[in-house]
Amino acid sequence: MNKQCLIIGGGIIGLNIAYYLYKEGHEVTIIDRNDFSSGASFINAGYITPSHFIPLSSPGIITKGLKWMLNKNSPFYVKPRSDMDFIKWAWSFKRSATQKRVDQSIPAILKINLMSRDLYQAMKESSDFDFEFNQKGLLMCYKLAETGDEEGEVAEIALKRGLKVKHLNKEELKLLEPNVDFNVNGAYFYDSDAHMTPNDFMRDMKAFLKKQGVNFILNEEVEDFKINSGRINTVKTSLREIPADEVIIAAGTWTSKLAKKLKIPLSLEAGKGYSFNVEKSTGISIPTILIEARVAVTPMNGFTRFAGTMELSGLNERISKNRVETIANAAEGYYKGLKIDEEDISNAKSGLRPCSPDGLPYIGRSKAVKNLIFATGHAMMGWSLGPATGKLVSEIISEKKLSMDINPFSPDRKI
């Protein structure tokens, strides 16, 4: 049975949900508080990352976070504040940062990442629309022996889980990236990963969906929900009321505010990230993470993107020039001869990534409202997990067998 589906949020998650719902024959409307041209979906590193199977809330991150809080140039920053929602989130984050919780999370995170990568490939091979999809792998470069040892432990887990990982010394790294002069001691290479140019994909996906009849409502904020017999009948915005059979909230970090209107306690924290583009040639051809600096480097369509920082400072998109300069300085420290111009730094953008306390996304129905589905909390894996999330949501709404077990992602789970 075809349904009227309303998606709140037009980022990578919302567009992928719309894509798979359209494929199932449903009527789809997407509404966004902005104009579908900005936010984390446009400024991210464009990674599809089976290699990223360790959740943010992992052992040792609390100690590192406390240490980094004292350093204004640190890659991870938490702004202490008395907001009760943040205090609850931080406490849940601390409880989740155990080896037992991490071990329980790894299978689900890895499976949804692999599923999503395969769906990107299938989408690319379809005749729907053309986009750049490069499976060149991912380099994890380190300077310190201690860091190399830590990354080696992650690589061992990856190998046991079926991923292909190889350690590279400086000479082997040079063979893989001949046009780059690294200032590192070694790297781990994951050939499971891929990358894209987010801006191009978002533009082309939106154009495809509009052509197929998906309705886009721009620059309108959802103000309230009308509920009858445990179901949302209409969604009220600043300008209209929209009826819907199914409501999907994929509004990123703003999802928790909308959940509050429905009296649903969904714990999310905004993790701000920054990026800037360098259009001159850098010689970089393989996506790379500069481990100690927590900087992601991606060769994209016509430019190289440098991205980094996880800043937990609330719902604000203000740009800290100091943090952007820290990303640039780190990149120049890892790549000999790289010089990033002031103009590139001044054109930096920020985006807010929705972070759950346990590092797992929220995907699925809420018991509180019968026709409500949440799709958020993907943190730094939003781009990677877009298609899998879209596919799973469409399967829920179409009452089909799910492609994977989504119980670990339940919005009603206790964290």
197-211 pLDDT, tens digit each: 999 999 999 999 999
- Reduce the DSSP state of residue 276 to 3 states and report it: strand
Q: In whole angstroms, give the CA distance from residue 53 to residue 69.
A: 25
Structure tokens, 63: 């100690």
SS3 11: coil
Distances in whole angstroms, Cα of residue 157 to Cα of each of 51, 150, 153: 10, 11, 7
What integer pLDDT is reported at residue 311 of this predicted model? 85
298-302 CB contacts, 8 Å cutoff, 24+ apart? 298/45, 298/46, 298/47, 298/195, 299/195, 300/46, 300/195, 300/196, 300/197, 301/132, 301/197, 301/200
The per-residue pLDDT for 76 is: 77
Helix, strand, coil abundance in the chain, percent, nearest 5: 35, 25, 40
- The closest alpha carbon to 371, from 216, 250, 229, belongs to 229
Task: Please tell me the distance from the alpha carbon of residue 415 to that of residue 413, in angstroms, as a whole number.
Answer: 6
pLDDT at residue 1, as a whole number: 78
Looking at residue 75, its pLDDT comes to 76
The pLDDT value given to residue 71: 67
Domains, in order of start, for the chain? 4-409 (3.50.50.60)
Q: Beta strand 222-228 with 194-195: parallel, antiparallel or unpaired? A: unpaired
pLDDT at 64: 67
Nearest Cα to 60, choosing from 35, 94, 13, 87?
94
Q: At what angle do helices 382-397 and 12-23 cross, to 10 degrees?
A: 30
* Tens-binned pLDDT, residue by residue, of the chain (415 aa): 799 999 999 999 999 999 999 999 999 999 999 988 888 999 999 999 999 999 888 777 666 666 666 666 777 777 777 889 988 998 998 899 889 999 999 999 999 999 999 999 999 999 899 999 999 999 999 999 999 999 999 999 999 999 999 999 999 999 999 999 999 999 999 999 999 999 999 999 999 999 999 999 999 999 999 999 999 999 999 899 999 999 999 999 999 999 999 999 999 999 999 999 999 999 999 999 999 999 999 999 999 999 998 888 888 888 989 899 999 999 999 999 999 999 999 999 999 999 999 999 999 999 999 999 999 999 999 999 999 999 999 999 999 999 999 999 999 999 8
pLDDT value, residue 315:
86
